[in-house]
Structure 1
């Protein structure tokens, strides 16, 4: 079962999400939070696998909750689910640790798929969110000739490309016909060589440098 925590300041939204998600055989809604501070507190006590997080909430907003989760060493897979369409909100959320960024007009079945995907280690961005990220002049170099790219082995480049395509470690292992433990080693090496903190940043690096 995938344990899901819903954080949204609208009771109707929380109830609608809970009702639908509870119909899925592999999803278990373990709690609801009405603001970011409550969400962080419930993550500490309930240890959900996936946190569905709205951005605009009272007391502590979604970005503040993401930053606080990081400060406290809490690491649920966070899937931002928001009605806010401001492109400037995307990058801070991703850089603060969100594994996905979607909008509330998403189809219900697609949301279920997204929860399963981020739980499995994938990075998932709505097309508008991905475009916003790639249009920014972020900390990643823009040319494939960068020394960090050159330091990657051929196999590490393969792993990076598969990370960028949203594959989990298990799926990469099957694709490359290697042990999952070997994939984890490759992923660690890729993150270290590129100087990025997580799979999300690695995926964005790959896209920006033409490696995906």
Structure 2
């Protein structure tokens, strides 16, 4: 471990899953990392909420389907009561309407339970920095499944939030809604990747959005991006 790594604060993680073996396996994987510390566990949504409020973790690994209070409701409540914590949703199926519900409730990311350990660790580090993460192929497939739950409408030109976006920020917003990465957006709009990141950061602030996933959902709800585009 380098001196810089030693000084870096550890990412504090709470694991919420109703299966003991799953929690044990995740703990083994995460505690092998120098920059991650598992500070607690929960076996249902209710205990996930109370434990998170007590420990204030940086990242919460949240199983979607748990007895009692499910992962969606727990995520929604924590998004309000503990906005500084980043919820990373875990589910068995990549086309899971429950996972989409959790994303709408404020989760910062979505991963399958069969995700490789290295990808899980990388995802935790990503959401801990304030970014969002989704499993491969999530954006197009999950949005396709979730379209019946959305209520697309034509964007109101008088909408204060959208009107606050510059023309270039609106261009970036459209490409984000289409599921493009910052690198891909930079290529499409002939911008540097750092410029795209700066534009997107301002978009999140102006539209009061927590992460990229919520930006994609909003783009569909406003009708700025439509299925098949």
Judge same fold: TM > 0.5, yes or no.
yes
Counterpart check, 1:112 vs 2:124: no
Q: Distance in 2 between matches of 1:103 and 1:204?
A: 20
Deviation per CA, 1:93-112: give whole Å up to 9, x if none: 11111111111111111111
Q: How far apart are 1:10 and its partner, in Å?
A: 1.1
- Against the structure 1 CA distance between its residues 69 and 177, is the aligned structure 2 distance closer, same or farther, given a 3 Å change threshold? closer
* Pairing partner for 1:154 from 164, 167, 191: 167
Q: Tell me, what secondary structure is at the counterpart of 2:12?
A: strand
Q: 1:80 touches 1:101 (CA, 8 Å); kept in 2?
A: yes
Q: How far apart are 1:60 and its partner, in Å?
A: 1.7
> Normalised by the size of structure 1, how large is the TM-score?
0.76
Counterpart check, 1:176 vs 2:211: no
Structure 2 unmatched ranges of 5 or more: 1-9, 183-191
Aligned to 1:3: 12
RMSD: 3.4
Q: Distance in 2 between matches of 1:150 and 1:8?
A: 38
> Normalised by the size of structure 2, how large is the TM-score?
0.71
Q: How far apart are 1:26 and its partner, in Å?
A: 1.1
Q: 2:106 touches 2:214 (CA, 8 Å); kept in 1?
A: no
Structure 1 unmatched ranges of 5 or more: 168-172
Counterpart check, 1:132 vs 2:151: no
Aligned to 1:47: 56
Q: For structure 1, which segment, 150-159 or 62-71, has the greater mean C-alpha deviation from structure 2 after superposition?
A: 150-159
Aligned to 1:198: 210
Aligned to 1:79: 88
Aligned to 2:75: 66
- Number of aligned residues: 199
Q: How far apart are 1:21 and its partner, in Å?
A: 0.4
